[in-house]
């Protein structure tokens, strides 16, 4: 066992999904699917179209309700969560469309729907000063970016900067335990892809473990610590990036290899 495996195996996973089953009518989208995420890692999930990646994540975020299975967060057994229970458990997801309000500046987007409030003569107002300061701190300390123009509407930001704002929104709750990113680089050009991959690493280095769904093995091999391969609704293997090759992982994706360890 190498040092990295040792480190990864030493502690309880932040998140463990076990024997998750989910059918849509007669279609078995997930069959006894598992997932383990440790506190100091980026876990990539790869697999062909329809392999079950998004369904597994949607069970985690409470968008879909699993037919059976269990989820443990920090070793404690949770119910298969509803949407709200998942949010309360500190699980946040950033989807491809980011969901920003383009006409608003970054601080408003980071705190959208959850703005700090101050009362003046008993009347509640958004505390803009507090919100701006908190947004700057989150962007710097949890996401690793500093914007010279934080008060600009986010429509003037680059794709990478917008991604940072969306991540900051996801991590703004202090007890965030898991960040999920489903295909974050799918719609980006080369420069913005590079920035986004750096951003993902920076978020991990600042203490948030990440589940990254991606079809791009180049990107996966640049940022992930481990790769979970799904096929036909099953988890067909998990490998350390350091111990494998893209070709071997591709073999697992299409089912021509049983082991991806080089
Ligand atoms: N809401 C739904 N209703 C019916 N079938 C669904 C639903 N969501 C997913 N499925 C089916 O479940 C299977 C797994 O789909 P899922 O979206 O999890 O795949 P994926 O691995 O994320 O694929 P992709 O790489 O294309 O995003 C597919 O056969 C899909 O058609
Ligand atoms: Mg998907």
96 in any annotated domain: no
Same domain membership, residue 196 and residue 164 = no
Asked, for residue 204, whether it belongs to a domain, the answer is yes
Closest ligand (CA of 27):
1
**CATH code of residue 253:** 3.40.50.300
State which residues form the domain around 112.
101-176
Query: Domain check: are 77 and 185 in the same one?
Result: yes
Residues 130 and 209 in one domain: no
Same domain? For 85 and 186 the reply is yes
Give the mutation target among 29, 182, 220 for probing the ligand 1 site: most ligand atoms within 8 A of CB.
29
User: 122 alpha carbon to ligand 2 midpoint, in Å?
Assistant: 47
Is 216 near ligand 1, meaning CB less than 6 Å away? no
User: Could you tell me if residue 82 is inside a domain?
Assistant: yes
In a domain, 5, yes or no: yes
What pLDDT sits at residue 172? Answer: 81
**Residue 95: inside a domain, yes or no?**
no
CA atoms within 13 A on the CB side of 164: 32
Assess whether 74 and 133 both reside in one domain. no
153, 176, 199: which is the final residue of a domain? Answer: 176
Domain count, the chain: 2
Same domain? 20 vs 140: no
Regarding whether 82 and 184 lie in a shared domain, the answer is yes
Enclosing H/E stretch for 133:
helix 128-138
84 and 112 in a single domain? The answer is no
Q: Is residue 258 part of a domain?
A: yes
- Tell me: do 196 and 255 sit in the same domain: yes
CA-CA distance, 104 to 87, in Å (whole number)?
24
* Contact between 211 and 43 (Cβ < 8 Å): yes
CB-ligand 1 contact for 97 (6 Å cutoff): no
In a domain, residue 238? The reply is yes
Q: What is the pLDDT of residue 27?
A: 96
Kind plus residue range of the DSSP H or E element containing 112? none
Predicted local confidence at residue 89, as pLDDT: 87
Q: What is the pLDDT of residue 101?
A: 93
Q: What φ, ψ does residue 213 adopt, rounded to 5°? A: -95, 125
Asked if residue 183 and residue 85 are part of one domain, the reply reads: yes
pLDDT of residue 129: 95
Last residue of a domain, one of 112, 144, 176: 176
Query: How many residues appear in the chain?
Result: 262
- pLDDT mean for each 10 residues of the chain (262 residues): 50 92 96 96 97 95 93 82 84 86 95 90 94 94 89 91 90 83 85 89 92 95 97 96 96 76 51
**Pairing state of beta strands 42-46 and 210-213?**
parallel
Q: Name the domain boundary from 126, 144, 176.
A: 176
Whether 171 and 206 map to the same domain: the answer is no
Tell me: do 165 and 126 sit in the same domain.
yes
């Amino acid at each position: 066992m190498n040092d990295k495996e040792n480190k990864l195996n030493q502690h309880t996973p932040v998140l463990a999904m076990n024997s998750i089953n989910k059918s849509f009518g007669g279609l078995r989208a997930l069959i006894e699917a598992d997932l383990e995420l440790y506190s100091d890692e980026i876990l990539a999930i790869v697999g062909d179209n329809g392999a079950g990646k998004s369904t597994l994540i949607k069970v985690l975020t409470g968008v879909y309700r699993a037919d059976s299975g269990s989820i443990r967060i920090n070793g404690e057994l949770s119910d298969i969560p509803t949407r709200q229970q998942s949010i309360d458990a500190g699980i946040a997801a950033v989807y491809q469309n980011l969901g920003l309000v383009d006409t608003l500046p970054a601080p408003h987007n980071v705190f959208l729907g959850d703005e700090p409030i101050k009362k003046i003569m008993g009347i509640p107002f958004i505390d803009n000063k507090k919100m701006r300061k908190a947004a700057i701190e989150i962007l710097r300390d949890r996401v690793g970016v500093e914007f010279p123009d934080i008060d600009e509407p986010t429509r003037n930001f680059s794709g990478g900067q917008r991604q940072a704002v969306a991540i900051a929104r996801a991590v703004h709750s202090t007890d965030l335990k898991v960040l999920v990113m489903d295909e974050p680089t799918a719609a980006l050009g080369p420069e913005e892809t590079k920035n986004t991959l750096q951003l993902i690493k920076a978020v991990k280095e600042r203490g948030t473990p990440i589940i990254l769904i991606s079809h791009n093995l180049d990107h996966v091999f640049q940022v992930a610590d481990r790769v979970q391969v799904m096929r036909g609704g099953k988890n067909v293997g998990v490998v350390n990036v350091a111990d494998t090759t893209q070709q071997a992982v591709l073999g697992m994706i299409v089912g021509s290899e049983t082991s991806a360890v080089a």
